[in-house]
Structure 1
């Protein structure tokens, strides 16, 4: 008999900014699957890897304190699509690699910058 074990990469940004998305994914990965909270940091300035490491420590503690079994994984990238690809390629190990990408609904797609909407659509494709 085969049981599906969801291994989810959840694009949360900072985990405390998307608690509803975390609770949703935690509901179907609870004790049988993997949840990785992905955060893509973009910007034209030079990446500060010390900040990235500090964020990783801070938000991993936040996840533990809130009893959410997940890993927080931040990356630097030029845009969200590229960062998502980096996370899908590098996150996890062996059978504990993400097989499901979970992203939040883009509610400002009508009013927002069309380049951001296009990037969001390409992430889904």
Structure 2
């Protein structure tokens, strides 16, 4: 059985010193948070990068995000959270998350994993 972590508490806990009341923490990440450890320690644990929480985890400390994406490239899943099929709805942040991933991920094979290959693998599609 696989588990996919998502939302504010999951992504806030990339930081070892995360203040649990903070839904969208800002500033530098202290490595070694629960999320990082769960992804490293449990082969059936994955992370969904959708919504504002996923985007915030990428933008609050881009140096940390680059290494996090590289380290967990086989465990991360892109999600758009777009309520329309064109990716341009008012609440859609997927296009922005794609731009951020394109900037932070250093090679095409890793980006392909995050954008779909990992999801297909764990869902056996």
Q: Higher strand proportion, which one?
A: 1
Give the TM-score normalised by the residue count of structure 1: 0.30
Higher relative contact order (CA 8 A, sep 6+): 1
Q: Higher helix proportion, which one?
A: 2
Give the TM-score normalised by the residue count of structure 2: 0.30
